[in-house]
Amino acid sequence: MKLKGKLLLFGALALASAFGINEAISQEAGQAISEEDLALYKTGINPGEVFAQEVGGKLFNTPMGKSNKSCASCHSEEKLKKAVGTYPKYNEKLNAVISLQQRIQMCQKLNQGVENPFPLKSEENTALLTYLKYIASGEKINVDTSSNPVVKEYYDYGKYVFELKRGKRNLSCQTCHEYFKKRAVSSCCNSRTVFNS
C-alpha cells in the first residue's frame, strides 16, 4: 500500500470540496491514488482501513529492538484502545504534554530497546498510529484537561487557535466546523461527515 497516494487523495478531496469543485474529485483521485487502491475504494472498501490492518497491524505484532518484543507482547488491544483517546496526554517524567506518536516512539526506545525509533510522520510511525486509532474506533475521546495545568494551557491555546480567523479568506477552523454544523453546508463545501460531528 502506498501511503503517499492516500495522503494526496485526502488533500485532493479536501481541496476539491472546500472549493466546491465536485467534478474534479474523481479525476484528482484517479491521479493521486494507485489503480489498486482506487479499485478497492470503488467496491466500498476503505484503503485506509486496509493500511491500518496490514501495515500498522503487522508492525504492532513484529518483535523489534534489543528486547525482541513486539507491541503486542506487552499490550493487550482491549486495554490499549482505552488509552488512545486520552492522547495528547501529560507525561510526568517529561513534564510535558505528548502526542500518541511520541508515546509510540517512547515505547520503541524505552521498552522495546529500539536504537532509532521510527521518526514522527514516517510511514511506519503513522501506520502504528493508524492501527491504534483503528482498534480504538468507537472508544471515548477523553483528554483530561484537569490532570495538570500544562494540559489546560495547551487546551486553551488550541481553543484560541481554533477560533482565530486567518488566511486570505479570513476563516477560523470554527467557522466551518462549528458554526455551520447545524446548517445545510452542501452549498458551501460538499461535506459528508465533518459538519455532523
By the rule CB under 6 A, 112 interacts with ligand HEC? yes
Determine the interface stretch with ligand HEC among 31-39, 43-51, 147-155, 188-196 (rule: CB under 6 A): 188-196
By the rule CB under 6 A, 143 interacts with ligand HEC? no
Distances (CA, A) of 96 to 75, 81, 121, 152, 160: 23, 22, 20, 12, 20
By the rule CB under 6 A, 176 interacts with ligand HEC? yes
Q: How many CA atoms lie within 13 A of 178 on its CB side?
A: 8
By the rule CB under 6 A, 171 interacts with ligand HEC? yes
Please state the closest distance from residue 185 (CB atom) to ligand HEC, in A: 8
Determine the interface stretch with ligand HEC among 41-49, 119-127, 146-154, 169-177 (rule: CB under 6 A): 169-177
Cα separation, 106 vs 94, whole angstroms:
11
In terms of CB distance, is 43 or 196 closer to ligand HEC? Answer: 196
By the rule CB under 6 A, 194 interacts with ligand HEC? yes
Torsion from C-alpha of 170, 174, 179, 185, nearest 10 degrees: 80
Q: Is 89 helix (H, G, I), strand (E, B) or coil?
A: strand
Count the Cβ atoms, other than its own, within 10 Å of residue 172. Answer: 16
The conformational region for residue 8 under phi > 0 = left, psi -120 to 50 = alpha, else beta, is: alpha
By the rule CB under 6 A, 189 interacts with ligand HEC? yes
> Are 97 and 26 spatial neighbours (Cβ–Cβ below 8 Å)?
no
The size of the chain, in residues, is: 197
By the rule CB under 6 A, 24 interacts with ligand HEC? no
Of 50-79, binders to ligand HEC (CB under 6 A) are 67, 69, 71, 73-75
Which residues of the shown chain bind ligand HEC in the complex (CB under 6 A)? 14, 17-18, 67, 69, 71, 73-75, 80, 83, 89, 103-104, 107-108, 111-112, 128, 171, 173, 175-177, 189, 191-194
